[in-house]
Amino acid sequence: MEDIIKSIKEKAGFIIDMDGVIYHGNRLLPGVKAFLKWLEESGKKYLFLTNSSERTPRELQEKLERLGITVGEDHFYTSALGTAVFLASQKPNGSAYIIGDAGLIHALYSVGYTINNVNPDYVVVGDTHNYNFESIQTAVNLVLKGARLIGANPDISGPIENGITPSTKALIAPIEIATGKKAYFVGKPNPLMMRIALKKLGVKREEAIVIGDRMDTDVRCGLESELDTLLVLSGITDRDAIDHFPYRPRYILNGIVDLVQ
């Protein structure tokens, strides 16, 4: 165990998931404060890279502040921002019908996109609590008329304090089934997210490690981008579930707390 922790701590850049790694809902996980203090004092570069598209970086920063942690807004990057970058590269100044919350809406506005529920270029779905039949019906008909279907992330579910909550892939499924069209997902494990993270950190892939709680997004994204991966068992994946996948993370720990005990 000591050798594993030493190897992890030798990395220069840390790409860290949030849900299931840093917190569950509004409950901070053990060891997180000590770990972030170590990152700062050691001069490590780190980025919170989350598939959650609900919140803006500012809102994520404020959430951590409410949990007793103060870090700069530039330490956060979301699948909503990645989605906006992707769409802006595909069709600059386009339009979209959005099923999502403030983080996704703000990200698309920031790259010059407008909201359009008549003839949009894209239908974009992200994590949201504002999910209803009317919005799904509208999305289905817009896709049938030619709008391209985009998911901010491919997560089926995410951890909360008292269990799990449906995520984007589950929310977008009715649109795919009703239209016969498959969505393109931008968040992890899309390599686009990892390229952006490495660029923001200013480190080489050999110098970085991905820390996450999901085999299908965090670990896969790291593996496909040739980064070392650390799976923590404090979120959506337990030890038994690891064997359901044809690949493995480089390291496995119970949680962030194992790095600072």
The span from the CA of 179 to the CA of 199, in Å, is: 37
**Cross-strand bridge partners of residue 76:** 48
Place of tokens 């951590």: 64
Cα of first residue to Cα of last residue in the chain, in angstroms, is 11
Contacts of 102 (CB under 8 A, 6+ apart): 54, 55, 56, 59
Contacts of 62 (CB under 8 A, 6+ apart): none
The span from the CA of 196 to the CA of 225, in Å, is: 11
Coil, strand, or helix at residue 196? helix
Does the annotation mark 17 as catalytic? yes
Does the annotation mark 19 as catalytic? yes
Coil, strand, or helix at residue 228? strand
Q: At what angle do helices 191-201 and 79-90 cross, to 10 degrees?
A: 110
Question: 19, 127, 155, 216: which one is catalytic?
Answer: 19
Give Cα separations from 67 to 39, 60, 111, 171 (angstroms): 18, 11, 31, 29
Question: 3, 17, 155, 213: which one is catalytic?
Answer: 17
Positions annotated as catalytic residues are: 17, 19
